[in-house]
């Protein structure tokens, strides 16, 4: 096996037809569907239950109601995407969505129902209809995860938890053939005919984020180090309403709270959203987040407030039990008090470029969920389309591989292992992570400028990228490297896009420009600098 990693060769520990990396909705569902075709190994760096999906509150969008249609869902998604959605990908999402969501119901996901036992639907920002399915009020992701994990545990899928994916392996034909992991402090190699990345997003690049600690961009870095294309990394969605109650960490206050009638007030007690958009609190997320940011700046306070007074205490406890209990644990009773909120990094619209079957630019490597750039979200994701995208494209990958099987013969002595380049300079993992958080929160937040982006890029570039012979097999060390690598690409993209669109807002060029209805794509080169292209 060919390797650029100093003096470390992994031993082969297991093999299967398919390897799925990640245990959110995309990973669990693709593993279950692929198990109908062949053997499956599911790898996750923490516990199966730890994923962005588990923390998803609002729900999953699907045009199931008689007053709704895939066409209307399509229009809402295109509108939110600010001119950069791939129309074919959106069509796949909205037309495949109802079938896949019905499959979740068949699998036993306990979506909430009304008194007539019909699926209960709510509305969220930028949706023209009530089409959001939810479970246990505001614990939709958790209930989906519980159901799918139970099915995985009952299947013949091999599960490896606490298993950190470090490098992908390709054969002499440049086809992805497996993954090198850190398992019990040692390097191990898993082999397969196809690898499916379902590793989620990169929210931990920011200090203020709604994402759990596992969201460190590992899948994007794995793909990038192997030569796959990454796209649209400048488009970061900041959720408008994360709990602001230091020292409590940011905690997501679901969009559905506003969908049910809550309003936003500034520190002077004034409702402000009607001044920013005709849809007021139900405007697209990027608009609401920037409006809150503007009010915080104007009033000189660290937060604004969500007013739930139009909602009865019984409705609040029934629809939002998780939010209610969490806030109560921090001494805040949301049935009688305003909720202090501020925006926090929530979702990346970009990722590993895929086609409609989830194929990346590396043969045998697929991606689904937040790690992927399918083109569904454009410059700004429509609320509750994230769980749906992971579900739909995971299913499409499984369908494709069931009809187009890949050869499973692997010649191990011809494998190339695409390890990350090692960084030599860091004071400590904690200090370097804090430094990264400060840079990204300050310079690549909701409002950006050329001056600040250049400053941030120079700070990131100060890190040494010389290869070294001494390092530790500590996953946290490689997570940090992944985040610094991706942060540099994100900053370059934001500096290159001299306009404002969706989740990318430049105060020095605040309007969208027709000439920038394009995508910024990165590929790794043999040199230290990435190859960047601007494409239609």
Judge whether residue 486 has pLDDT over 60. Answer: yes
Q: What percent of the chain has pLDDT above 90?
A: 83
Is 285 noted as a catalytic residue in this protein?
A: yes
Rounded average pLDDT over 101-123: 96
Task: List the 60-61 sheet strands across, edge first.
Answer: 60-61, 132-133, 121-122
> Could you report how far apart the first and last alpha carbons of the chain are, in Å?
38
Model pLDDT for residues 258-300, shown as the tens digit of each residue: 989 999 999 999 999 999 999 999 988 889 999 999 999 999 9
Which pTM does this prediction carry?
A: 0.95
With tokens 């809550």, the residue in question is: 262
Mean pLDDT over the full length of the chain: 93
At residue 239 the predicted structure's pLDDT band, cuts being 50, 70 and 90, is very high
Judge whether residue 471 has pLDDT over 70. Answer: no
pLDDT at 56: 86
**142, 258, 285, 497: the active-site residue:** 285
Task: List the 18-21 sheet strands across, edge first.
Answer: 158-160, 40-43, 18-21, 194-197, 365-367
Rounded average pLDDT over 371-400: 97
Judge whether residue 464 has pLDDT over 90. Answer: no
pLDDT at 409: 67
254 to 241, 273, 291, 468: CA distances (angstroms): 7, 17, 17, 45
Domains of the chain: 2-235+349-417 (3.50.50.60), 241-343 (3.90.700.10), 429-535 (1.20.58.100)
At residue 469 the predicted structure's pLDDT band, cuts being 50, 70 and 90, is very low
Least confident span in 169-183, 203-217, 398-412, 508-522: 398-412
Judge whether residue 467 has pLDDT over 60. Answer: no
Contacts of 504 by beta carbon, 8 Å cutoff, 6+ apart: 234, 235, 236, 379, 448, 494, 497
pLDDT at 1: 43
387 to 106, 182, 293, 346: CA distances (angstroms): 17, 28, 27, 14
Closest CA to 89 of 523, 519, 512: 519
The b-or-e profile of 62-86 (16+ CB within 10 A means b, else e) is: bbbeeebebebbbebbbbbbbbbbb
pLDDT at 527: 61
Secondary structure string (H, E, C) spanning 333-364: CCCCCCEEEEEEEEEECCEEECCCCCECCCCC
| Phi-psi group of 499: left, alpha or beta (phi > 0 → left; psi -120 to 50 → alpha; rest → beta) | beta
Rounded average pLDDT over 345-366: 98
Q: How many helices (H) and strands (E) does the chain have?
A: 14, 23
Cβ count near 245 (within 10 Å): 18
pLDDT at 466: 46
pLDDT at 530: 83
């Amino acid at each position: 096996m060919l390797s650029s990693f100093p003096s470390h060769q992994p031993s082969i520990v297991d093999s299967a037809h398919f390897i799925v990396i990640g245990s959110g909705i995309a990973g669990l569902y693709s593993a279950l569907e692929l198990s109908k075709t062949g053997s499956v190994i599911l790898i996750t760096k923490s516990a199966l239950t730890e994923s962005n999906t588990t923390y998803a509150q609002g729900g999953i969008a699907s045009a199931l109601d008689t007053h709704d249609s895939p066409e209307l869902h399509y229009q809402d998604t295109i509108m939110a995407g600010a001119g950069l959605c791939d129309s074919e990908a959106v069509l796949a999402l909205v037309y495949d969505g109802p079938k896949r969501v019905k499959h979740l119901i068949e699998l036993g996901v306990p979506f909430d129902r009304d008194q007539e036992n019909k699926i209960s639907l709510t509305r969220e920002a930028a949706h023209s209809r009530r089409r959001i399915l939810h479970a246990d009020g505001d614990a939709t992701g958790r209930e989906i995860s519980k159901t799918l994990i139970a099915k995985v545990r009952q299947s013949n899928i091999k599960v490896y938890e606490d298993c950190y994916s470090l490098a992908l392996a390709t054969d002499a034909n440049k086809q992805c053939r497996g993954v090198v992991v850190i398992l019990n402090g040692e390097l191990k190699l898993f082999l397969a005919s196809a690898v499916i990345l379902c590793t989620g997003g990169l929210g931990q690049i920011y200090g203020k984020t709604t994402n759990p600690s596992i969201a460190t961009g590992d899948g994007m870095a794995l793909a990038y180090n192997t030569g796959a294309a990454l796209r649209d990394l400048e488009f970061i969605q900041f959720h408008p309403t994360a709990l602001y109650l230091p020292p409590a960490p940011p905690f997501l206050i679901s969009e559905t709270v506003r969908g049910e009638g809550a309003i936003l007030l500034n520190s002077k007690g004034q409702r402000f959203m009607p001044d920013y958009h005709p849809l007021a609190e139900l405007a697209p997320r990027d608009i609401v987040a920037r409006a809150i940011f503007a009010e915080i700046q104007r009033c000189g306070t660290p937060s604004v407030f969500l007013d739930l007074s139009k909602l009865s205490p019984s409705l609040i406890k029934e629809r939002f039990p998780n939010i209610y209990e969490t806030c109560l644990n921090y001494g805040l009773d949301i049935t009688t008090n305003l909720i202090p909120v501020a925006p926090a990094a929530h979702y990346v619209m970009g990722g590993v470029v895929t086609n409609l079957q989830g194929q990346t630019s590396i043969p045998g490597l697929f991606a689904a969920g937040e790690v992927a750039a399918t083109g569904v979200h454009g410059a700004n994701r429509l609320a509750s389309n994230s769980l749906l995208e992971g579900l739909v494209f995971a299913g499409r990958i499984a369908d494709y591989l069931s009809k187009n099987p890949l050869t499973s013969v692997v010649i191990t002595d011809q494998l190339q292992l695409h390890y990350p380049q090692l960084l030599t300079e860091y004071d400590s993992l904690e200090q370097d992570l804090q430094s990264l958080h400060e840079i990204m929160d300050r310079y690549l937040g909701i409002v950006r400028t050329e001056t600040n982006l250049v400053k941030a890029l120079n700070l990131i570039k100060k890190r040494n990228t010389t290869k070294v012979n001494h390092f530790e097999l500590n996953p946290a060390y490689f997570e940090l490297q992944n985040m610094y690598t991706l942060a540099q690409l994100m900053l370059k993209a934001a500096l290159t896009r001299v306009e404002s669109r969706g989740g990318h807002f430049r105060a020095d060029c605040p309007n969208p420009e027709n000439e920038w209805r394009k995508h910024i794509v990165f590929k790794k080169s043999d040199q230290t600098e990435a190859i960047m292209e601007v494409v239609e």
